Amino acid sequence: MSVRAISFFILISFLSQPARAEDAPNAVAENEYDFSWLDPDKKIYVVQNRKYVKKQKLELAISGGLGIGEPYRTRRILLPRAFYYLSESLGVSVFGGFNSNSENSNVAALASVASRIPAVRDIQSMYGASVVWLPFYGKINMFNQILYIDWHFEAGLGQVASEIDLNTTIGNAPRITETSHTSFHWGTGQKFFITRNFAARLDFLAVYYTAPTGVDGDLTSSRGAVEETYDNYFVTLGLSYTF
């Protein structure tokens, strides 16, 4: 093939390429899709495009749920929260938790066969702050409707107000001791967009703290204070509003 023929072939190939977004007479706006030359059917666009954005926006949420994993207590929690999103994938959060704790049927079953019951430490209230990471944004086709989802992970520090009944003998008067402790928490959850502002939330939160535990009905022993790491897990459902 001659040099002239090769040059002519290269010129024709170049002229036949689709125009780039910046060469078009009416260039798309900064936030619109500008890769139509690469994805003419918009298959990538459909997956990646975010219908609901949250960068530099405030979200307020209220959730309620149950504590899990404690064999001797039924635990309920009310959890108001605030989020501020620095970007689409990073934000910060603060929360306050208010707990209701009650003995479950396992305590009654234990009391029926023994004269002693365990000393259980309960969280009465808590608050904390988290760094929030949102690596996943998804879409689900449900009943021919597109449902948009954010999936987040978080970790941070806080404070818990706890109480423990040091009396472990059936029939004796309660000996309630209340203390506060620094806590570490982590969590994950999903937000399901209902509208641009309203969303439903499903969240999991784990809280850990170290506190003295009752030894022979006291917070101290001959070896000094005995401490234990307590873990508490909560699953909540709620609603949020993004401003």
Per-residue pLDDT of the chain (243 residues; tens, 9 = 90+): 554 555 544 444 444 444 443 443 344 444 454 555 555 555 554 555 667 788 899 999 999 999 998 888 889 999 999 999 999 889 999 999 999 998 888 887 887 777 777 778 889 999 999 999 998 888 777 677 777 889 999 999 999 999 888 877 777 777 888 889 999 999 999 999 988 899 999 999 999 999 887 654 455 444 446 788 999 999 999 999 999
- Indicate if 81 and 44 belong to the same structural domain: no
Reference 59, options 165, 150, 147; nearest CA is 150
Domain carrying residue 115: 54-242
SS3 content of the chain, % helix, strand, coil (to 5): 10, 55, 30
- Indicate if 131 and 200 belong to the same structural domain: yes
- Indicate if 224 and 105 belong to the same structural domain: yes
- Indicate if 144 and 83 belong to the same structural domain: yes
Q: pTM surpassing 0.75?
A: no
Q: Total domain count for the chain?
A: 2
What span, in angstroms and rounded, lies between the C-alpha atoms of 63 and 85?
Answer: 19
Q: How long is the chain?
A: 243
